[in-house]
Chain A
Amino acid sequence: MPESSLETVAVILGNHGNNGTRLMQILRETQEALGWLSPETITAIAKGVGWPRAKVEGTAGFYSFFHTRPMGRYRVLWSDNITDRMLGNLDLMQTMCQKLWLEPGRVSEDGLVSVDTTSCTGMCDQGPAVLVNYRAITRMTQERVARMAELIQKQVPVAGWPTEWFQVEDNIRRADILLNNTTKPGEALKAALAREGNQESAANARSWREGVNAATRGPSAVLEEIKKSNLRGRGGAGFTTGIKWEACRHAPGDERYVVCNADEGEPGTFKDRVLLTRQADLVFEGMTIAAYAIGARKGYLYLRGEYRYLLERLNEVLARRRDMNLLGTNILGHSGFDFDIEVHLGAGAYVCGEESALIESLEGKRGVPRNRPPYPVTVGFLGKPTVVNNVETLAAAALIAAKGGDWYRDIGTERSAGTKLLSVSGDVARPGIYEYPFGVTIAEVLADAGATDTQAVQISGPSGVCVADNEFGRSIAFEDIPTAGAFMVFDYSRDMFEVARNFAHFFAHESCGFCTPCRVGTTLLKNLMDKIGDGHGTQVEISEIFQVSHVLQMAAHCGLGHTAPHPLLDTLEKFRPAYERRLKYLNFRPAFDLDGALARARQMTGRDDLAAHLGSSE
């Protein structure tokens, strides 16, 4: 390993205080500097953080965006969500590979470039999208592919590529309280600090953090407002935020953490990207208010690796907030109110959206969901009580702090307070972000987005629910269809089997591999869908899908495994003909291509006679 590389690693390690829990950032920065994570680099990092080498290698090996072998100086990753497919990403990728003389997934022989697919990059309203060296590029066309191939061949640094390629649109189509927010940075926080709770309340009887001004009644007053608002988590599960905060506040321990989950990995979801672009202050303010309510001194925003381009901007916002004393010590002159936020970047692992996996990743480990109980509110980051909330939840919490729980509760439906951001993509005239009060019907959203001839909507991503046209009267609400925000629209020209097949591939790629049913089962489902898709399926494969799905639903370790069969089961229930028209045979079909299995032997013997071939059935 060259001396200069060792020095680079040493500097990065130094910047992070040789702290192993910062391993994700250390690995990313090292890779950005050196191109890949060689065995020697990993040894050096392990030595630096004082961790067993194998543990560092284990983390590096877990995330899609870390490379333990060289992947070329240009790494092009095509977002491969179904919406990218519908916009023709595969043809574009093929053209690119032809122009660069390479196969997908392989590094070119000169070590210059590799082209591959990656899970949804959150640009569904402006696809087909790619990541080039982990920088997002949107709206790919044949022209852009040709130009990009040229730039790569001429070895023009990515920083010198046309700036308009990196333009990410917000595409806000309908705004409500969140996206129309005009409160100034600090306004909600001031309102929170000014609030005084009922002195008699049980929550108030406890000091919110040992050693802090005992007269401070504000925190429980804020908590009361959040509870009053009936705010529920926006990440999909819908847990009541006030109860989560209260549980964390009351959990024993003298250190607490606030974590903002911006690992927006659910295919078809991109609303957090827009919130972090347009309302970053509101999100950070929500984190700060949460910190005030629970007594946390440190917060992390876990940003998915695909949104790497937002890192510098978010850090600027944080710096500005520190200057304004909205972060730091004695915030807004409030003695003992110390809190700061750091942005932590992920590296391509959908499972880290699960809160305990996210915490593991924050600690520098493989993003594997923990056994629960205990839940993060009592045993979270570094074993301390931790609140993990979605970006949208925290933004809403800031608004509630500013305007009160009663105000918020009056928006939406009785059981679903507030608004919901929907990421609308697919077969619509106006893809983008739509913010509605809860209770909006699917039909209303479709009409607003200019959808016609709609066959189905996949709500809340592959892990959510696939809704057919006879259900478009249903509404977006916790009491009807809860959602993390994805709203992918498919018109009648689309093949719902291919939609489900794309999702089956997604889950097989993203399974963390911790538990047997998900590790093996997601691949079995993928293989079964491919067999049907390739025209070799029978009713046997369909019944196998049900069988494997039931094992996943019964025995998987976390939500990823439990929900992985959803797109298959939903489409089998609602669009079964899409499967059945692919079944060309009544009975058993071989598990593999028999004639193809003889190809190697034919090549070796030079034979091509009748006996050198096998038909696929007797």
Chain B
Amino acid sequence: MSQLADALAALDEEEVAKLVREKIDAGVDAMSILNECRSGMDIVGERYKSGEYFLSELVVSGEIFKECMKVIEPHLKAGKQADTLAKMVLGTVKGDIHNIGKDIVNVLLGAAGFEVYDLGVDVEPRIFVEKLIETEAPILGMSGLLTPAFESMKETVKAVEAAGLRDKVRIIVGGGVVTELVGKYVGADRFTSDGLKGVEICKEFAKELK
């Protein structure tokens, strides 16, 4: 494993910033630097799954990754953007303004290679549908913490169906109180109350869609 990936996995913010800057200055291909950062994020994910790291470490690694991207992105060759796993539309559903879980998942999805269209919070069903049509994203992620959010998730799934997109779009719902019962009730394909597991499920979706 590279020094950069190790530094990111160790959440050593200063060392990561120094190494990224040195590599950019030395003319190292930006895509390979990005891939080293992603390897570091993968280690963080493994440590989270094994119980060594907690949500806070996912958050810190995500923030470090975001800082890296600010430096790396301008150097990615024109026309050759970072490789993406899949496009994805994400948002907290109508009537709910909780953003913490969604924002964390957004960063983790970006680090994993998804092109995420984050619609923010309190998102109407038709806004989700319009974005799915506009971007042709095959994955929809909906977040919510309050129990009334379950109704909004259900309405959104119905709106996706009404737009004739249901067989083209994989749907995942997530949130602190989202359970299997909720997943079934709203008509989602998968559910989770764990951000990183949500990312893994989206990776499975991306594989199925290839």
Whether chains A and B associate is: no
